[in-house]
């Protein structure tokens, strides 16, 4: 059967985290999707893992890889966009375990002329390491009692983890935020992403997702916030790529996008 949504997952040398994420997608209530892994130059153990996991999961996995040349996430995401075979693209990361209704909610809320911005909930490192295949397949890792028992501190943000139905609708209404293209949990039409030329490949660690969303808005695509309707658990990891130089570079590109109302980047999928 022709798939009707592509799930793009970015990864780099984190096979243990990626395995948990792939298990998470094997629990999805909506099953008519493909996975496209945007691999920014990982070692062979990631490719070996993907090959092994293909035998376990019900959905097809397309592995898009290029040579490791430092942080080139925007570039590999553009290659992954081209590899998607469907009209609609959802993006998340190789450290984000999706709730079982994750894909279903994106399909439910998608609409012409809009992109969707979902939610995520960060876990501490020990909890990230200790989540097992059984915890994911049984759905226990999305139960508040289980999470608290395993070290998650009490917080209002915890409401995000298990909000469904009326509660998720009310929470979306109660805590509005400016929706942005959120690299952990966002989706949109492939034609719209292609219409702005994808990600700006000059962008370094942090912010390339939001810059893409800013150009989508300039292009006339409205953002829709559903962060309490579609949620993933964000596993902890070191963040080694952010430098003052890269942060400054990203800020300048985003400033240019805003001030010039840019819809297109010359440094995206189609090169000058």
Pairwise CA distance, residues 82 & 99, whole Å: 26
164 or 92, higher pLDDT: 92
pLDDT, residue 248, reads 87
| DSSP structure string for 43-56 | -HHHHHHHHHHHTT
Banded model confidence at residue 239, pLDDT cuts 50, 70, 90: low
Banded model confidence at residue 156, pLDDT cuts 50, 70, 90: very low
- CATH class for the region spanning 5-260: alpha beta
Q: Is the pLDDT at 162 greater than 70, yes or no?
A: no
Q: Is 263 within 8 Å of 219 (Cβ atoms)?
A: yes
Banded model confidence at residue 161, pLDDT cuts 50, 70, 90: low
Q: What is the mean pLDDT of residues 231-250?
A: 82
pTM: 0.92
Share of the chain above pLDDT 90, in %: 73
Sheet holding 222-225, edge to edge: 61-65, 34-39, 6-11, 88-93, 186-189, 114-117, 222-225
Q: Which of 45, 42, 89, 92 is nearest to 69 (CA)?
A: 42
215 class by beta-carbon count within 10 Å (0-12 exposed, 13-18 middle, 19+ buried): buried
Give every CB contact of residue 57 below 8 A, 6+ residues apart in sequence.
22, 25, 26
pLDDT digits (tens, 9 = 90+) for 171-200: 555 565 577 899 999 999 999 999 999 999
Banded model confidence at residue 169, pLDDT cuts 50, 70, 90: low
Domain ranges of the chain: 5-260
Pairwise CA distance, residues 94 & 43, whole Å: 15
């Amino acid at each position: 059967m022709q798939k009707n949504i592509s799930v793009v997952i970015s990864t780099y040398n984190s096979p243990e985290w990626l395995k948990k994420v792939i298990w998470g997608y094997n629990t999805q209530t909506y099953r008519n999707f493909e996975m496209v892994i945007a691999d920014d130059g990982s070692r062979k153990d990631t490719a070996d893992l993907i090959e092994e996991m293909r035998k376990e999961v019900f959905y097809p996995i397309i592995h898009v890889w290029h040579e490791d040349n430092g942080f080139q996430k925007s570039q590999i995401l553009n290659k992954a966009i081209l590899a998607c075979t469907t009209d609609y693209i959802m993006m998340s990361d190789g450290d984000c375990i999706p709730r079982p209704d994750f894909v279903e909610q994106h399909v439910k809320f998608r609409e012409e002329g809009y992109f969707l911005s979902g939610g995520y909930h960060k876990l501490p490192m020990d909890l990230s390491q200790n989540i097992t295949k059984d915890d994911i397949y049984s759905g226990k890792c999305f139960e508040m009692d289980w999470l608290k028992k395993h070290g998650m501190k009490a917080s209002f943000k915890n409401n995000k983890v298990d909000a469904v139905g009326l509660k998720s609708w009310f929470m979306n209404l109660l805590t509005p935020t400016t929706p942005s293209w959120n690299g952990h949990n966002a989706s949109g039409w492939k034609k719209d992403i292609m219409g702005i030329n994808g990600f700006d490949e000059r962008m370094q660690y942090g912010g390339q997702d939001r810059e893409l969303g800013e150009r989508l808005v300039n292009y006339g695509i409205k953002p829709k916030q559903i962060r309490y309707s579609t949620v993933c658990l964000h596993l902890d990891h070191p963040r080694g790529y952010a430098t003052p130089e890269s942060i400054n570079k990203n800020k300048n590109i985003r400033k240019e996008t805003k001030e010039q109302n840019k819809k297109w980047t010359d440094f995206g999928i189609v090169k000058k």
